[in-house]
Amino acid sequence: MQKEKFDAIVVGAGPAGTTSALIMAKAGLSVALLERGDYPGAKNMYGGAIYRWPLELIVPDFAEKAPIERRIVDHRFMILSKSSGFNFSFKNLSFAQPPYNAFTTLRARFDLWYAKLAEEAGALLVTSVSVTDLIWNGKKIVGVRAGKGSENELYGNVVIAADGANSKLAIQAGLRHPLRPDEVALGVKEILELDRKIIESRFNLGENEGVAIQVLGVTHGMMGGGFIYTNKNSLSIGLVVLLEHLIKSKIRPYDLLGEFKRHPLIEPLIEGGEPREYSAHLVPESGYYGIPKLYTDGLMVVGDAASLTSSIYQEGVNMAIESGIYAAKAAIKAKELGDYSSKTLSYYEKLLKSSYVMKELYQLRDLPKIFRDNPRLFSIYPNLINYAMKEFFSMDGELRRVKSKKIIKMIRQRVGFPKLLLDLIKARKII
Ligand SMILES: Cc1cc2nc3c(=O)[nH]c(=O)nc-3n(C[C@H](O)[C@H](O)[C@H](O)COP(=O)(O)OP(=O)(O)OC[C@H]3O[C@@H](n4cnc5c(N)ncnc54)[C@H](O)[C@@H]3O)c2cc1C
């Protein structure tokens, strides 16, 4: 890479960056898509599910073409105490029919497939290249430096920072601060290889059908939870925990994951699974109030780099894609006007403000703080629910009325009714 000039330089070939690159290339812009991994997806991990929308807006037939593992037909929730679980599930047969709703995918395959679409549309995909710095002309960003000694310079009318959580470029551009431990969670995950027939019979799934499982009560009261996703021949199992809580607890993430895997209700689900891969990754948890300024002269920030995630609903890829669409639209408009100043690029923010992403994050704006400050949600309530269920279902000659009194006494001791009421009022913000 020497001194070349493009209409747009996209840094990061994750879902956000590739979306922007693909749309801009289709519109005839000259685009460079730079990725530090050996191939797109090589360094990327997530839990395991992507939604049909908004990917279908860009690749309408993606369900036939993308490297999909399974179509998710069953969403399960497990609220665990040490030795029991209050579990519920939502299964909808329409989710098993086209146009489907959500899918499990492995990022190493999905990101590679997706970036190839951008390449086919005309974007120049350059891998194994780590962008180190922005290049400025006065107050305007005009390109990037890359390579070990920052020896390569690449010029562009606009740079799209799609470099993920804790975006180096957004920080350099002065748009955001480095994420604090209370603004970011650490995700750890293992892929366990398991025969597809075993997966289908164990999870009660038809061929190509999949399940997404969210688990509460396995993080020692720290903000976070566990997950299991079924792939074709493997399971993705992991945990996401607020970094601040993890640091304070001094519990090593891998130990926490080991404990989760050994839980008596989890172990039978993963039995026989052969560990194939272990990975860790950050995910922004700051929600609406953590969204930085999204543009400046010559630069826009998309996806995780702009903290556009809603981890409670395991949403990130869809938000990355949607933000990538709007950044691309703003870049196309800038090319038409021949003006890449922040005035034109503010169109990106305008589009994003009226999008699902911003509206949803605004709706859920208080959740990160509620979750962060309330360890009851992640340990006391799961234990109380399990205690109440055990009492309710145990037949030991004790009258139900007596059991109810015991449950009420336990709630009073562990939480107290004023706090419980307050938590219930806050809980309405989850939906
Ligand atoms: C444990 C965990 C579970 C999750 N589960 C889900 C889920 O089930 N569903 C969901 O929708 N979301 C999930 N998410 C969130 C989701 O992964 C992210 O929101 C999404 O990947 C964001 O996409 P992105 O393109 O913005 O960033 P990323 O996917 O992080 O992509 C950034 C890209 O930039 C590249 N890059 C970074 N720095 C540089 C540089 N200096 N030079 C060149 N390239 C660079 C990286 O290698 C990477 O390819 C999860 C996240 C975690 C951590």
CA of 304 to the centre of ligand 1 (A): 6
Local structure of 112: helix, strand or coil: helix
What is Dmax (Cα atoms) for the chain? 83
Cβ of 107 less than 6 Å from ligand 1: no
Backbone angles phi, psi at 194, to 5 degrees: -155, 140
Lowest mean pLDDT among 2-11, 291-300, 385-394, 411-420: 2-11
* % of the chain beyond a pLDDT of 70: 98
Whole-number Å distance between alpha carbons of 306 and 91: 33
Ligand 1 atom nearest to CA at 282:
53
Q: State the architecture of 182-284 in CATH terms.
A: 2-Layer Sandwich (3.30)
For range 108-119, the mean pLDDT: 98
CA of 164 to the centre of ligand 1 (A): 5
In the beta sheet, which residues pair with residue 87? 78
- Prior bond of 54 cis (ω within 30°): yes
Cβ of 17 less than 6 Å from ligand 1: yes
Whole-number Å distance between alpha carbons of 355 and 345: 16
Cβ of 304 less than 6 Å from ligand 1: yes
Local structure of 172: helix, strand or coil: helix
Whole-number Å distance between alpha carbons of 288 and 363: 9
Residue 298 predicted with pLDDT over 90: yes
CA of 302 to the centre of ligand 1 (A): 11
Please answer whether residues 239 and 260 qualify as being in contact, where contact means their C-beta atoms are separated by less than 8 angstroms.
Answer: yes
- The whole model's pTM is what? 0.96
**What is the Cα 364 distance to its own chain's centre?**
15
Whose alpha carbon is nearest atom 29 of ligand 1?
A: 14
Letter string b/e over residues 178-198, b meaning 16 or more CB atoms within 10 A of that residue's CB: ebeebbbbbbbbbbbebebee
Cβ of 52 less than 6 Å from ligand 1: no
Residue 394 predicted with pLDDT over 60: yes
pLDDT digits (tens, 9 = 90+) for 119-168: 999 999 999 999 999 999 999 999 999 987 768 999 999 999 999 999 99
Please answer whether residues 365 and 288 qualify as being in contact, where contact means their C-beta atoms are separated by less than 8 angstroms.
Answer: yes
Whole-number Å distance between alpha carbons of 363 and 289: 11
Ligand 1 atom nearest to CA at 317:
11
CA of 14 to the centre of ligand 1 (A): 6
For range 22-48, the mean pLDDT: 97
CA of 185 to the centre of ligand 1 (A): 13
Please answer whether residues 198 and 272 qualify as being in contact, where contact means their C-beta atoms are separated by less than 8 angstroms.
Answer: yes
- For tokens 């780099």, the residue is 305
Residue 281 predicted with pLDDT over 70: yes
Domain regions of the chain by residue span: 4-67+106-179+289-353, 182-284, 369-430
CA of 43 to the centre of ligand 1 (A): 9
- Prior bond of 275 cis (ω within 30°): no
Cβ of 74 less than 6 Å from ligand 1: no
Whole-number Å distance between alpha carbons of 316 and 164: 11
Distances (CA, A) of 349 to 183, 275, 292, 302: 22, 43, 11, 10
Whose alpha carbon is nearest atom 17 of ligand 1?
A: 46
Higher pLDDT, 375 or 58: 58
Backbone angles phi, psi at 156, to 5 degrees: -155, 150
Residues 6+ apart with CB under 8 A from 122: 25, 26, 28, 30, 31
Whole-number Å distance between alpha carbons of 173 and 136: 9
Concatenate the DSSP letters of all residues of 228-279 into one string.
EEE-SSEEEEEEEEEHHHHHHHT--HHHHHHHHHHSTTTHHHHTTPEEEEEE
Residue 70 predicted with pLDDT over 90: yes
Ligand 1 atom nearest to CA at 319:
19
The pLDDT, as a whole number, for residue 255 is 97
Among 69, 296, 329, smallest CA distance to 193 is for: 69
Whole-number Å distance between alpha carbons of 170 and 147: 19
Cβ of 322 less than 6 Å from ligand 1: no
pLDDT digits (tens, 9 = 90+) for 335-358: 999 999 999 999 999 999 999 999
Cβ of 238 less than 6 Å from ligand 1: yes
Cβ of 85 less than 6 Å from ligand 1: no
Please answer whether residues 23 and 328 qualify as being in contact, where contact means their C-beta atoms are separated by less than 8 angstroms.
Answer: yes
* Residue 398: how many other CB atoms lie within 10 Å: 11
Residue 33 predicted with pLDDT over 70: yes
Is residue 320 very low, low, confident or very high in pLDDT (cuts 50, 70, 90)?
very high
- What is the assigned CATH class of domain 4-67+106-179+289-353? alpha beta
